[in-house]
Amino acid sequence: MTESLINVTLDWHDRGLHYGDGLFETMLKVGGQVPHWESHCQRLVKGCKQLFLPSLDLSWLEKKLTEVTKKTDTCIVKIIVTRGVGGRGLKLPNPDQCSVFVLSYPFVQPSNKTLKVSVCDTRLPMNPNLSGLKHLNRLDYVLATIELSNKTDNDEGILCDSEEFIVEGIINNLFFIKDNQLFTPCLSLSGVNGIMRTKIIEHWAKIDKTVHIGRFKLGQLLDADECFFCNSVQGIRSIGSIDGQKFDTGAITRLLMKRLNNFLPINTDGLG
Amino acid sequence: MTESLINVTLDWHDRGLHYGDGLFETMLKVGGQVPHWESHCQRLVKGCKQLFLPSLDLSWLEKKLTEVTKKTDTCIVKIIVTRGVGGRGLKLPNPDQCSVFVLSYPFVQPSNKTLKVSVCDTRLPMNPNLSGLKHLNRLDYVLATIELSNKTDNDEGILCDSEEFIVEGIINNLFFIKDNQLFTPCLSLSGVNGIMRTKIIEHWAKIDKTVHIGRFKLGQLLDADECFFCNSVQGIRSIGSIDGQKFDTGAITRLLMKRLNNFLPINTDGLG
């Protein structure tokens, strides 16, 4: 892709607005660096292929990110990639064109407390064509956020799919531990394939352990010894309660926080 | 809603772009009038309620539409309503604020030929929270459009849900006729509740006939005597073939075209 084919101004006719026809990445910039930058790029490239979006010029993207965030060493960065400006209707525009928007937000240090969590009634649809992707069709998550805001004082919600299998949080991936074994929902039907989730699975493999990836019912989560959420902006955070049922921050959550939260601006051990 | 709370400029942080957090309406303006304007407004109001969007000032919207389209008597109008400009993350902005964009496109007279149609491999997810709504999360339809563009010379695609029940076309609702009975897929799990579909169901009720609304398999469609698509911009259009299997334009399709296509700029009887 040549630079001339990257649209950086937002147009009324951008397919991101009309159809949510695109992808996004959210990441931290800390001390002038973006932790896991290569992983974010790899996921973006893979997502573009899956949605038949034009391939991205990653060195242009890195330069753009540096330019947009040049005034700050530490911030949150959101990259939005869309299929560019279209005419009327779904018919695809010039296949070589896309829009790329790089936005920067102040970083707010998350609280060190364990998370108070509630199970959402909102169900995620099962959609193998889109599952795993960090795409722009997020109405289900908006509805879950509205639902959560109507409950008192919850930090995050747990989302299940329409067959009642647990998937993830609204803005986090989910792990739980039972009898020293690590479990996380598979994302082949619903959910977002998070970078931190991948880092945890890779780390666990490095120390010769197996992550059990599968479809698990809520009962299995509630029967866990410990559980935690993770994302690229807040790292790993221990779950303190699910709908009032209390969980302790156990040894495995502590270990993973210690090993993998070190990219955060202030190393939160999250032990509350 | 007061006018000051309606955002009409497109911002990088509009939730329409970030999450597809909104709705749209597509309609014709013909001879200075918008056919079925009240029905479009009703659907928009209902959709806003369902997504917890602020209620719309419809007289403001009508004025805005008049202003945007003042240079032409005949055009296509697209109205986009989003949850407005948000901060970082899914947390809702000021609940009284929304963005409304009114866009106008030239009207292109559709061909009078019957439609050449193909069944898409792309499946629609089943999602009772969003089904029926004309929301901005349209990636499934983008993928179906890409699929259709890779097949030769098709006018429209038929979409089934993940349980293999027929739902609609990519940009149309679907009806079929068997033994003088009219059938259309129910939209409680997937699909868009089109204005023309409603007009057809209402018209059929007026002449004391029943439309069979249910979940139908592809085999039932292929066994039909006649079938047609409909939407608010092109009216009712007869299907001439589905993956090579030919269909005649029968008496019921002709009757409905005659009665309900009269809003089109040039009264297409669609008889090819």
Complete DSSP assignment for A117-130 = EEEEEEEEPP-TTT
Number of H helices, E strands in chain A: 7, 13
Cβ–Cβ below 8 Å for B90 and A171: yes
Q: Does B105 touch chain A (CB under 8 A)?
A: yes
Model confidence pLDDT, tens digit, residues A94-151: 777 899 999 999 998 888 899 999 999 999 999 999 999 999 999 999 999 999 999 8
Do B98 and B7 meet the contact criterion of CB atoms below 8 Å apart? yes
B68 touches chain A (CB under 8 A): no
Provide the residue type at B171 as one letter.
I
* Domain ranges for chain B: 3-106, 115-263
Condensed to tens digits (0 to 9), the pLDDT of residues A18-28 reads: 999 999 999 99
Model confidence pLDDT, tens digit, residues B17-29 = 999 999 999 999 9
| DSSP state, residue A163 | T
Q: CATH second-level architecture of A3-106?
A: 2-Layer Sandwich (3.30)
List of chain A residues whose C-beta atoms are within 8 Å of the C-beta of residue B142:
15, 19, 21, 51, 83, 90
Whether residue A270 has pLDDT greater than 80 = no
| B52-69: average pLDDT | 94
Lowest mean pLDDT among B155-169, B197-211, B256-270: B256-270
- Selected residue of A18, A75, A76 to mutate for chain B interface (largest B Cβ count, 10 A): A18
In terms of Cβ atoms closer than 10 Å to its own Cβ (0-12, 13-18, 19+), residue B79 is buried
Q: Is A271 a residue whose pLDDT tops 50?
A: no
Quick one: average pLDDT of B43-59? Answer: 95
Judge whether A3-106 and A115-263 match in fold.
no
Q: Quick one: pLDDT band at residue A5, thresholds 50, 70, 90?
A: low
**From A12, which residue of chain B is nearest by alpha-carbon distance?**
B10
Å from A201 to nearest chain B CA?
25
Q: For position B73, what pLDDT does the model report?
A: 93
The CATH classification number of A115-263 equals 3.20.10.10
Interface test with B, best of A24, A122, A137, A140 (most B CBs within 10 A): A137
**Does residue A143 sit at the B interface (CB-CB below 8 Å)?**
yes
The whole-model pTM stands at 0.95
pLDDT at A272: 38
Instruction: Give yes or no for residue B134 having a pLDDT over 50.
Output: yes
Tell me the residue ranges of DSSP E strands in B1-139.
6-7, 22-29, 75-82, 98-106, 115-124
pLDDT of residue B1: 44
